[in-house]
Structure 1
Amino acid sequence: MAKAANGPLGALNGKLNNLVFYTLNGQHICRTIGDPGKPSIHQLANRQAMSVTMRLVKSITEFISVSFDLEAQGTVKNAHNLATSYLKKKALKGEYPNISVDYSKVELSHGTLPGATDLKIEKREQGVQVSWNTEGRYDDIVMILLCHPLQKSATSRINASRRDAGTCFIALEYEGYLDEPIEAYICFRAADGKEISDSAYIGNLNGAAETEEEIAEKQKYAQVKQRFDILEVDYLQQLKDNWGNPVDSKAFRNLEKEYKVLKNKLEHLPGKPG
């Protein structure tokens, strides 16, 4: 049952057939419930895009709660909503079922302060060194984010340094992170907290992380290769024992057939090392 609290022409609240009405942040929302049936390819793509986006958003919540706070003020959205919207629209690549994050297009803030230029990132013992051009207000606060895609986590520094420092060392909690892919970002926030700059992509260290598709392809290749290696030893040994001639038996013919099928499959199968 739905209730019209402000009369028959007012906003509904509750359930009416397969519809649910409620108020969120001052907005009247209506959603359908129940079994939607078999999803279309478009729906599946949208679900995967949202899933990929939310995994990223979850790992950088601490950073975006500050970097998108100013933009969210005075609207019905919050920092989390804004980050999700921007990342889903602008920072994904690939087609379903192989949608992944394009880290070079990730946006973490929008504002009027001068942004970062001449960006550099280098590995150091136990962390990374980030540097930038110091032009702009000397006391702007530096915000730095390091994404660790393999760990589905991030190192967030909300008050990393001041703009006039021109450089900042970010220590990493786990030493192994230094050898894994790192995606780095920076933005500036005014000392009084009333302005922020557009975020900038600093770059990547240690190469791009493999996508789920690439990982699956390598696993499948390894499984086929393992089976092929076992067959190859048996096949070649039987040929050798028969002076290089095929053995006249059904078992050998089946072995030879599977050997040739797998050999051809490995030549065209993605996921090959190197």
Structure 2
Amino acid sequence: MAKCPIGPYGHPSGRIGDLVFYMMKGQAICRTIGKPGKASLKQMANRQSMSVAMALLKPMADFIKVSFRLEAEGTVKNAHNLATSYNKKHALTGEYPNIKVDYAKVILSNGSLEMAEKFRMSKGEGGLNLSWNTDLSEYADADDILMVLVSHPTKKRASTYLNAAKRSDGRCFVALDKEWMMKEQMEVYVCLKSANEQSISDSKYLGNLNGVPESMLEKTEKAHYDTVKARFDQVAASYEKQRLDFAAGAVETKAFRHLSREYQILQEKLLHLPGKPS
């Protein structure tokens, strides 16, 4: 995408060859169209990063509209653009084709309002118990409002609470009305907004509940490790038996030398192979 400032004949509009011109938030934009050529590795990594970031943020749309509204005001970007830009840059980890979300680094708001301290979280009957320190400073008010987002990555959903409690409450209960919510992976985030919604805090990651399911890569690596380990156990049993025979005076054979070599190779491989049980 490129900006297209006013030329001697004004703004172009519509399609010219492989280019399309249009206005967006007061800016003239030019985009290419048509079938692209073969993507480079860098382009494929960028596309996967964008796809992962979009999948993360799509269920959070209602939260993001509020949490990034102030930062988006007066710019050509909208709240979703800002959230995508921040999280594509800061909240992803891994290399293509195994790029994934680092939930602890997800950013859901940026602002100068003071965040509460000493948050605590626990599972309750049908929801989550949250508590925090209610101490105030000149940069915080008792009627600041707590916003809570609970991400459910395995279901591609999120539970949004835009007015969960006041800062002065010091605690709140976040109801989760679906039975599966209390069993599936949860990633929990909070931020504070002023009562007049003219300021907001940075978001804070409260942590994970119920663990993280294995990715396809992790499952594949674990299966491969198990296969190699099973072969090593088989070779090791045979190697140890024959080694004791030779220690007792038996003549070493070519077959044993091959067995010994395979034993050493498999032993070394298992030391560095991913998928090992933690």
Deviations 1:65-121, CA, capped at 9 Å, x for gaps: 110111111111111111111111111001100100111111111111111211111
1:221 Cα deviation from its structure 2 partner:
7.7
Answer yes or no: is 1:214 the counterpart of 2:218.
yes
Answer yes or no: is 1:175 the counterpart of 2:179.
yes
TM-score (norm 2): 0.76
SS state of the match for residue 56, structure 1? helix
* Distance change (3 Å), C-alpha of 1:55 and 1:7: closer
Distance (whole Å) between structure 1 residues aligned to residue 185 and residue 7 of structure 2: 58
* Distance change (3 Å), C-alpha of 1:99 and 1:20: same
RMSD: 2.9
Matched-pair identity in %: 53
Unpaired runs of at least 5, structure 2 = 235-261
1:213 Cα deviation from its structure 2 partner:
2.5
Answer yes or no: is 1:200 the counterpart of 2:220.
no
Distance (whole Å) between structure 2 residues aligned to residue 219 and residue 31 of structure 1: 45
Q: 2:169 aligns with which of 151, 165, 189?
A: 165
**Alignment correspondent of 1:238:** none
What one-letter code is carried by the residue in structure 2 that aligns with 1:211? S
1:35 Cα deviation from its structure 2 partner:
2.0
> Is contact 1:98-1:212 (8 Å) kept?
no
* Distance change (3 Å), C-alpha of 1:100 and 1:77: same
Distance (whole Å) between structure 1 residues aligned to residue 84 and residue 116 of structure 2: 23
1:210 Cα deviation from its structure 2 partner:
3.1
> Is contact 1:100-1:211 (8 Å) kept?
no
What one-letter code is carried by the residue in structure 2 that aligns with 1:78? N
Deviations 1:192-249, CA, capped at 9 Å, x for gaps: 1111111111111122343343245467789x79xx9xxx9xxxxxxxxxxxxxxxxx
Q: 2:152 aligns with which of 148, 153, 167?
A: 148
Deviations 1:47-78, CA, capped at 9 Å, x for gaps: 00000000011011111011011111111111
1:191 Cα deviation from its structure 2 partner:
0.6
Answer yes or no: is 1:139 the counterpart of 2:143.
yes
Aligned pairs for 1:63-74 within 5 A? 63-74=63-74
Distance (whole Å) between structure 2 residues aligned to residue 219 and residue 38 of structure 1: 33
TM-score (norm 1): 0.77
Unpaired runs of at least 5, structure 1 = 233-259
1:165 Cα deviation from its structure 2 partner:
0.7
Distance (whole Å) between structure 2 residues aligned to residue 150 and residue 217 of structure 1: 20
> Is contact 1:218-1:272 (8 Å) kept?
yes
Aligned pairs for 1:34-113 within 5 A? 34-113=34-113
* Distance change (3 Å), C-alpha of 1:219 and 1:29: farther
**Alignment correspondent of 1:248:** none
